[in-house]
Structure 1
Amino acid sequence: MTWACERGCPVGGSKTYASAEQASRYAAAFDRQDSEDLGRRAPLLGMFPLRLARAVRQLRRHG
């Protein structure tokens, strides 16, 4: 698997995995958007508004 920075910086590299399945699993983990987790790992009191916003979004999706 090889990777490069999408912002144009010179950061990048490569790594060899034991199988294509393992490489695919790691690539999927790196490709996820940080916004998906917004509010999930937030500290209880300091980021309470984010937790509330996330809960409202989930209720709208499932409700």
Structure 2
Amino acid sequence: MVGGMLRCRLLGHRFHFSHEGCTLLWSCLRDCGASDHKRYPTAEEAERYARAFDRRDIDSLGRHAPLFGLYPLRLWRAWRDRRSTRPLAG
């Protein structure tokens, strides 16, 4: 538990979202003990929020980067994608 608390202090929590009926639940995957819940009017609404909040956007990082701020990341990703689809010489 202490290791999880230290990681969360340094890197921030890594929450996992789920639902049980009308209740949205979340807890930290790093076992620091952080968790909570929120009740919604319908189970469908709780499920929709759980699905939306539990998405990981790491795979799409740099794919739709802003024109200036993350432009180098966009260039690197385009170069990497182009390189991985090119046939090997030999």
Deviation at 1:35, TM superposition (A): 0.5
The structure whose RCO (Cα within 8 Å, separation 6+) is larger is 2
Compare the two structures and name the one with the higher helix fraction: 1
Unpaired runs of at least 5, structure 1: none
CA distance in 2, matches of 1:19, 1:50: 40
Partner of 1:45: 68
Q: How does the TM-score come out when normalised to structure 2?
A: 0.50
Compare the two structures and name the one with the higher strand fraction: 2
Per-residue Cα deviation, 1:18-49 (whole angstroms, up to 9, x for no partner): 11111111001111112134122x34223212
- Picking from 14, 19, 30, the partner of 2:53 is 30
Unpaired runs of at least 5, structure 2: 1-23, 86-90
Amino acid at match of 1:44: L
Q: Which contiguous aligned blocks of 4+ residues in structure 1 show a shift greater than 6 angstroms?
A: none
Q: How does the TM-score come out when normalised to structure 1?
A: 0.67
